[in-house]
Amino acid sequence: MYTTELDKSRPVDLQTGEPKDLVDAFEARVAADEFIEPKDWMPEAYRKTLIRQISQHAHSEIIGMYPEGNWITRAPSLQRKAILLAKVQDEGGHGLYLYCAAETLGASRDEMVDALHSGKAKYSTIFNYPTLTWADIGAIGWLVDGAAIMNQVPLQRTSYGPYARAMVRVCKEESFHQRQGYSIMLALAEGTDAQRRMAQDALNRWWWPSLMMFGPPDDASPNTERSMRWRIKRETNDELRQKFVDATVPQAELLGLSIPDPDLTWNETRGAYDFGDIDWSEFYAVVKGEGMCAKERITARKKAWDDGAWVREAADAYEAKKQARNVA
């Protein structure tokens, strides 16, 4: 970090007022694909946008436990229950890694949690949709975790070191999440007519919200241009969305299920699928907190946080006692 009392003779970056030599050195390091580490100098705006993205990523992991958690007691077999339990537990761990990564930037856990509980911070819109049948658990693993993998694999090369390293572990576990979801969909698609209908119904309800996970179109994204320049993002929202569609359509065909998009068609010239318009008014309404389960999710989250207060207090008391013993 540069000294707080700026050396007046030192040229400053006209936009941010930060020392120009430090800004230029930072930009050169990012352009050379170097990792930026917690103790390195970084522009305040870089630090801020990372705290924004990483903390909201963490919030998404934690809130993402609720839609699936509702089905742990109703899984159709002991094996499915054990698999779902492991997945939900993984998501909690992903949230903790990411909160820790955000803390290396100076954010405090309490501030981040308060921002989530107050609605100031976002979490992925996808987790505001209800999980109506067991097939939804399959669709979430297959589509939501599939989209998460598409978005998170490039983040293993994000310019901020702690975030990139957290993603390496997260991506390994996401692959299991996606496989188990696809295996649920396969079992249903190869099952009775009623099970096949249940799988198709889940695909119909989760397809478009999964495409929204990649964020607004690039030309409507206030963060993408700068995040790409700073190599926080390695591919844009639209690029990753397209990759997800191209990878997932053949998987639906293998399941014998149809993607709920009459405009979906293979474009030979582009070597990619053309697909229909996304309903961005729905996206922005859910971002604004109007999602079907938004209230239920945050209420459950706040209750869990309050119910867990005694554990945090006990851990703090234990730590304080240990410190006092070490000092004595």
Q: Which of the ranges 182-190, 222-230, 245-253, 314-322 carries the binding residues for ligand 3HC, by CB under 6 A?
A: 222-230
Whole-number minimum distance, CB 121 to ligand 3HC, in Å?
8
Local structure of 104: helix, strand or coil: coil
Question: CA–CA separation, 220 vs 302, rounded Å?
Answer: 32
The number of residues in the chain equals 328
Site map (CB under 6 A) of ligand 3HC, residues 147-176, x = contact: -x--x----------------------x--
- Of the pair 42, 101, the CB lying nearest ligand 3HC is at 101
Whole-number minimum distance, CB 209 to ligand 3HC, in Å?
9
Whole-number minimum distance, CB 168 to ligand 3HC, in Å?
15
178 near ligand 3HC, judged by CB under 6 A: no
Q: Which residue has the tokens 């030979």?
A: 268
Q: Rounded to whole angstroms, what are the CA distances from 245 to 120, 215, 230, 249, 251?
A: 31, 14, 26, 6, 10
Other C-beta atoms closer than 10 Å to the C-beta of 25 total 13
Whole-number minimum distance, CB 176 to ligand 3HC, in Å?
11
- Of the pair 151, 200, the CB lying nearest ligand 3HC is at 151
134 near ligand 3HC, judged by CB under 6 A: no
Residues 92-121 that bind ligand 3HC (CB under 6 A): 94
Beta strands in the chain (DSSP E): 265-267, 272-274
Question: CA–CA separation, 88 vs 67, rounded Å?
Answer: 10
Structure tokens at 285: 């309404």
Q: Degrees (nearest 5) of the Cα angle 2, 103, 233?
A: 80
DSSP label at residue 123? -
- Of the pair 252, 294, the CB lying nearest ligand 3HC is at 294
How remote is the C-alpha of 43 from its chain's centroid? Answer: 24
The candidate with the shortest Cα–Cα distance to 53, out of 155, 165, 187, 168, is 155
End-to-end Cα distance, the chain: 35
53 near ligand 3HC, judged by CB under 6 A: yes
Applying CB under 6 A, which of residues 26, 30, 60, 105 lies at the interface with ligand 3HC? 60
Q: Number of residues in contact with ligand 3HC, rule: CB under 6 A? A: 29
Whole-number minimum distance, CB 119 to ligand 3HC, in Å?
12
Other C-beta atoms closer than 10 Å to the C-beta of 303 total 10
68 near ligand 3HC, judged by CB under 6 A: no
221 near ligand 3HC, judged by CB under 6 A: yes
- Of the pair 64, 69, the CB lying nearest ligand 3HC is at 64
Q: Which residue has the tokens 């234990």?
A: 318
61 near ligand 3HC, judged by CB under 6 A: yes
- Of the pair 112, 287, the CB lying nearest ligand 3HC is at 287
214 near ligand 3HC, judged by CB under 6 A: yes
DSSP lists the bridge partners of residue 36 as: 160
Structure tokens at 304: 């869990």
Q: Rounded to whole angstroms, what are the CA distances from 262 to 19, 125, 220, 276?
A: 54, 24, 25, 7
Q: Which of the ranges 143-151, 193-201, 298-306, 314-322 carries the binding residues for ligand 3HC, by CB under 6 A?
A: 143-151
Task: List interacting residues with ligand 3HC (CB under 6 A).
Answer: 52-53, 56-57, 60-61, 64, 91, 94, 122, 124-125, 144-145, 148, 151, 174, 212-216, 221-224, 227, 237, 287
